[in-house]
Structure 1
Amino acid sequence: MLDHQLDAIVKHVQAAGLPDLCDLPPVACRDLYRQILAAADRPAADVQVEDRLMPSRPDVPALKLRVYTPRHGGPHGVIVYFHGGGYVLGDLDGYDSVCRQLCLDSAAVVVSVDYRLAPEHPFPAAVDDAWEALRWVGEHAKQLGADPARLAVAGDSAGAILATVTTMLARDAKWPTIKFQALLYPPAAGGHAGDYPSRERHAAGPTLTLRTMDYFGAHYFGAVAQAPDFRGAPLMAPSLAGLPPALVMLAGHDPLRDEALAYGHALQAAGTPTTIVEYDGLAHGFISMAGGIGAARLAQLQFAQALRQGLEPR
């Protein structure tokens, strides 16, 4: 059963007659998405905030980062956060409330990454940016008031894929060392077929639809709308061994529920200590709904607490 607060919000949105995101061109889609996120936000948490530019690479503009720092204590652990939005939507402002709250609740520095979006920058641009940002944070953690030995990655939806894929890249490069990965409803199959009944069960949403998933996939991966390799579909990874402990959080009313669960199970099967948590009454995107849904706020707290524990000094 859908959470009663979420159900009321969904009915309100339906009554307002807002268009489906996938019926809009990307620029208009981004504007609407930003409005939706702002309407569900919590009040801004009191943390220090600083915008930074990561040095540019050849033919790539400087990458924007937003750094959130607790006002007290330190040195802190550091979390590199990758926002959701199907690789097409989302930005630093849209996820500002989420990252402020994560910083406060986890007592860690949070670095939010403004990676390039599709269709202007198709696959693998987002992965390339995420990997560059993670390495930059690993090199500059001390300058951010953080302990480079206490580094985690986190993200929601497409951002969860960027988080877990960068842990694989870090494993293979043997640096930086990631202590924990926190993944919210990752689209782990990258558009590929599989035994995922939730895709049909929740094809019409309530917050993410199959049509919108195809819209995102076509813009990022191309006309086939399927990831060509593990960088967009971690269930295709040759090996999930040797990855850091993980939290995988699911939404019961989400077309991605089953493939996110499959990824959690695959991590466990590979020997990665993995906690899987499902919020039965919530839908895709719940991390951004804590302003109006009590269960979403509880999920925020659980997410942050797992990161806090995962970053504790050993």
Structure 2
Amino acid sequence: MSFDKFKPKYKIHEETENYFKLRAEAGAKPYDQLTVEEAREGNIANAKRFAGTTEFEGTVKEFTVPTKHCSDGIPITVYRSKHCDLCVAPSVFVYFHGGGNVVGSRQTVDTICRIFSRDAPCVVVNVEYRLAPEHRWPANHEDATCVVRWVKMNKSLLGAVNRSTVGVGGDGEGSRMAAIVCHEVPDLGYQVLVYPSVDLRRNYKSAEEFAEMPGLTKKMVDWFTEKYIDEPDITNPKASPILQKSFSGLPPALIILAELDQNRDQGYAYHEKLKAAGVKSQIFTVKGVTHGFFHLPGHFKECCLRAHEKVCKFIKANS
């Protein structure tokens, strides 16, 4: 798989080309050619190799959010940078990792959660929601909504204060959960949607154009979708939030897109839905990158720096 067919129209960032070259040399396979367990192990190994580490001074604590949906509760990791001490009311940013609803974990986004807590600064809540195929839709949606409601009631426990804003965000399918939560939970401060998957119908020009794009192919999307949700449920507004009847009153949004991504055009479409409803929404497209770069700042140094700076500035402005 190469970028040759895309180069006449797009300039591929050197970080993108080098990333897929390194993966190819390591013998990495697309998820649709793996078992679920192999895919999960590969996803974690990829994050260990490319996410990097970052300086962080502060506290990292584990909590379990009680829920009626599973007896063990929902594990979360809470990051509170020492810089939060300088804030009168540090915001709480609830983050949902990506991974097609099948792979991914708190571990894969640990580095970026530390970056956001340090540089915004804010308290970050990293959520270990249930995954498919063991837990199909709407399990992760239930977990996401439960965690955000619990966070709103327990700000001081997490190192914030009662008047701290609570915002939500995520990448890929994690951003879909964040978007859904905004329709379910009132009075949220902001939403950060990174290459959002807000329409599981995926009938967009970019989905066709990038069906064979390294990083997220149509075969991979179909593999994830089949394991996650029954086809009739795809058009449920609680699965595809772009189909919600109303967008008025939703919190301000920052939408970050990858130029070479199947999800790109549905991100633009969601942005337009928000604006049409009078919601403040801004969009930032990172040129020359594919789906999946955002949580890997150890490799995508330049591309991630620009995107992460946008996120931290946005959180600060809405705290």
TM-score, normalised relative to structure 2: 0.91
1:145 corresponding residue in structure 2: 159
* SS class of match (2:170): strand
Name the CA shift for 1:21/1:193 in 2 (closer, same or farther; >3 Å): closer
1:220: how far off?
0.9
1:296 corresponding residue in structure 2: 304
Using the alignment, how far apart are the partners of 2:74 and 2:105 within structure 1?
A: 12
2:191 corresponding residue in structure 1: 181
Superposed CA RMSD: 1.5
2:119 corresponding residue in structure 1: 105
Using the alignment, how far apart are the partners of 2:202 and 2:194 within structure 1?
A: 21
Using the alignment, how far apart are the partners of 2:69 and 2:306 within structure 1?
A: 43
Letter in 1 for 2:156: K
* 1:53 is the counterpart of 2:53: no
* Paired residues of 1:218 and 1:225 also in contact (CA < 8 A): no
2:78 corresponding residue in structure 1: 67
Using the alignment, how far apart are the partners of 2:224 and 2:38 within structure 1?
A: 14
2:3 corresponding residue in structure 1: none
Runs (4 or more) in structure 1 with deviation over 6 Å come to none
1:305 corresponding residue in structure 2: 313
* Paired residues of 2:202 and 2:266 also in contact (CA < 8 A): no
2:179 corresponding residue in structure 1: 164
* 1:117 is the counterpart of 2:124: no
* 1:245 is the counterpart of 2:249: no
2:35 corresponding residue in structure 1: 25
Letter in 2 for 1:160: S
1:59: how far off?
4.4
| Aligned residue pair count | 303
Letter in 1 for 2:214: P
* SS class of match (1:278): strand
**Which of 82, 92, 96 lines up with 2:96 in the alignment?**
82
Using the alignment, how far apart are the partners of 2:38 and 2:79 within structure 1?
A: 28
1:264 corresponding residue in structure 2: 271
TM-score, normalised relative to structure 1: 0.92
* Paired residues of 1:217 and 1:226 also in contact (CA < 8 A): no
Using the alignment, how far apart are the partners of 1:127 and 1:90 within structure 2?
A: 15
* SS class of match (1:289): coil
Using the alignment, how far apart are the partners of 2:47 and 2:278 within structure 1?
A: 36
Using the alignment, how far apart are the partners of 1:301 and 1:80 within structure 2?
A: 17
**Which of 208, 216, 225 lines up with 2:216 in the alignment?**
208
* SS class of match (1:132): helix
CA shift digits 1:38-90 (9 cap, x unpaired): 21113133132111111242544211000000113144111011111111111
1:273-284 to 2 correspondence within 5 Å? 273-284=280-291
Name the CA shift for 1:44/1:189 in 2 (closer, same or farther; >3 Å): same
Using the alignment, how far apart are the partners of 1:225 and 1:102 within structure 2?
A: 37
* Paired residues of 1:214 and 1:225 also in contact (CA < 8 A): no
2:147 corresponding residue in structure 1: 133
1:159: how far off?
0.7
Using the alignment, how far apart are the partners of 1:270 and 1:54 within structure 2?
A: 33
Which moves more between the two structures, 57-66 or 98-107?
Answer: 57-66
Letter in 2 for 1:291: G
